[in-house]
Amino acid sequence: MDKRVTGSERFTGHGPEWRDSNLSSEDARIATSWVEQKIDKRSMLTNKDRVEDVRDIMWQLEKDGEIVVHRVADEHEPMMVKTLYGWDKKIPTKRLWHHKSCGQCGNIPGYPASLLWLMNRLDVEYLDETDQTSCTAWNYHGSGIGNIESLAAVFLRNFHQAYVAARAQGLPDAYYYPLVHCGTSFGNYKEVRSYLLHSAKLRERVTQILGKLGRLVDGKLLIPEEVVHYSEWLHVMRTRIAAIQEIDCGNIRATIHPACHVYKMVPEDAIYDDNINDGNRLANSTGIMQALGAQVIDYSTWYDCCGFGFRHIISEREFTRSFAIDRKIKVAVEEARADVMIGHDTGCITTLDKNQWIGKAAGKPVELPILADCQFAALVCGAHPYKIVQSHWHASPTETLMEKLGIDWQAKKAEFVAYLDQVKAGKQENLYDPRRMRTSGPGFIPIAKLP
């Protein structure tokens, strides 16, 4: 009998011609087992007819005098990694311009704070400034308000600012290299860079706009040699980070949530390492967790998205929370008996962290601490769980993870509450000199060269 007629089954997604095959569980397993064998393999992503490295177009355009390339220079002390097709990608390790994430800064501030704290510990020079917008792609993917020209213009404006930002400190252009915090910004910028390199019409259009803003270099568009995500920096720095580790995490069972916009958008640019996940999955996050000595445990829905959906997390949260609980949290808890789920993107951390409490109402009382890779790394390197990791903004039970790591979170929390009085008196501790954060406009005080 067609179950749809009785309304007893809520069927969606496959069109009115669909009929239940009524396979037995065993037959269904056999029928789909080939998918499971392929789905975990790198070949799933590489099995394409047309693949190109857009950087070849980029170098040619620069040679033709059409664009200027912002290079990852020796001064940025780059480290080389391999991407999906075995191509090289340069990851700058110092002199970094932080391109912040609106979602991280807005509701998971311990995410960027942990990253900057790690950089301080490793003596990495950086700039965190106010002259930047978000990439605007969260809004674009959620609403459709925006277009390829606006995305391209925002990308080029922000990256131009990274190029010239050091002038405020009396330093030369190209001193800092942009480091993108958000996974969606990272995916979006790479996609937009590709369209810019392919389309003369788009270049012409945005050159007019960037010209009006005074954001051209020698009258030309400035294109970054590499678009670099912070998780890539963390990945290449993993051995150095492990060297300053203070807390053993060998007893921690960690699951990894690879972010869609980090490795499914422009997949050819994502990092793969034959020594991490046998080269079959993205190396980011798994690499640092293994370097720190945690147990990285697999789970069957690793490839699923988190359920964020861009618009959905704001106005269709039934979808977001159902997907987050059923396809991610519940699976990681039941299959992997995970102590923590580690991610490397804004929306994923927000979605997975915030959508657990409501599970109780649906008879799915799952609990799993959620942290970004850099927060976990900072935590085991001795960062304060509240002052730096800012774990109080996390709705998920990060306390259980801290207990397993041997951190007395109650004492640390009490320290932080006491510290708030100091903050009230205007004596907060900062990760950098606040005078650095304005590079122009109201409030900017020219400083020839900060120490």
Partner 1 sequence: MSHATGSRVQQHIGDPLSAEPALPLTKLEEIFKDIQSDLRFDHELNGCLNCGICTATCPAAHYYDFSPREIVQLLWTENLEGIYDAMQEKIWACAQCYTCAARCPFGNSPGGLVMLMRETAIKHGMQSAKNVLRPFSRVMLKLISTGNQLSPDMINRDHFADWGPNISKIEAPLKLLRQAIPMPTLNTTATAWEVNLKTSVELYTIWEETGVLKQLETVDENLFDVISDIMDEKREDWKDFLADQEDEKDEKDD
Binding positions for partner 1, 162-181, rule CB under 8 A: none
Out of 6, 8, 24, 48, point to the residue binding partner 1 (CB under 8 A): 48
Distance of CA 394 to the CA centre of its chain: 17
Closest contact distance (angstroms) between CB of 75 and partner 1 is: 24
Q: What is the end-to-end Cα distance of the chain in Å, rounded?
A: 77
**Dihedral of the CA atoms 152, 156, 142, 321 (nearest 10)?**
140
Site string for partner 1, 366-395 (x = CB under 8 A): --------------------xxx-xxxxxx
Site for partner 1 contains 411 (CB under 8 A): no
Please list, in sequence order, all residues whose beta carbon lies within 8 angstroms of the beta carbon of residue 43, skipping any fewer than 6 positions away.
Answer: none
18 versus 248: smaller Cβ distance to partner 1: 18
Which residue in 70, 89, 190, 321 binds partner 1 (CB under 8 A)?
321
According to the binding rule CB under 8 A, does residue 106 interact with partner 1? yes
Q: Does 81 bind partner 1 (CB under 8 A)?
A: no
The DSSP H or E segment spanning 79 is: strand 79-82
The conformation of residue 355, written as its DSSP 8-state character, comes to S
Per DSSP (E only), the strands in 283-338 are 295-296
Using CB under 8 A, pick the residue from 78, 92, 187, 369 that binds partner 1: 187
Buried b / exposed e along 267-277 (16+ C-beta atoms within 10 A):
bbbbbbbeebb
Least distance between partner 1 and beta carbon 418 (Å): 11
Closest CA to 407 of 428, 386, 430: 386
Which x/- pattern, by CB under 8 A, does the window 126-145 give for partner 1? Answer: --xxxxxxx-x-xxxxxxxx
Residue 271 interacts with partner 1 (CB under 8 A)? Answer: no
* Residue (169 or 295) nearer to partner 1, CB: 169
CA distances from 131 to 100, 154, 228, 438 (A): 11, 12, 19, 7
Q: Is 410 in the site for partner 1 (CB under 8 A)?
A: no
307 binds partner 1 (CB under 8 A): yes
Q: 84, 161 in Cβ contact below 8 A? A: no
Which is nearest to 129 in space by CA: 171, 158, 107? Answer: 158
Supply 424's token pair. Answer: 């009230």
User: What's the order of all strands across the beta sheet hosting 177-180?
Assistant: 126-127, 96-99, 177-180
Q: For residues 23 and 417, which CB has a smaller minimum distance to partner 1 in the complex?
A: 417
Residue 37 in the binding site for partner 1 (CB under 8 A): no
Q: Does 193 bind partner 1 (CB under 8 A)?
A: no
Q: Which CB, 77 or 298, lies closer to partner 1? A: 298
* 13 is a contact residue toward partner 1 (CB under 8 A): yes
* Residue 50 or 449 with smaller CB distance to partner 1: 50
> For residue 96, what are the β-bridge partners?
126, 177
Smallest distance, Å, CB 46 to partner 1?
Answer: 11
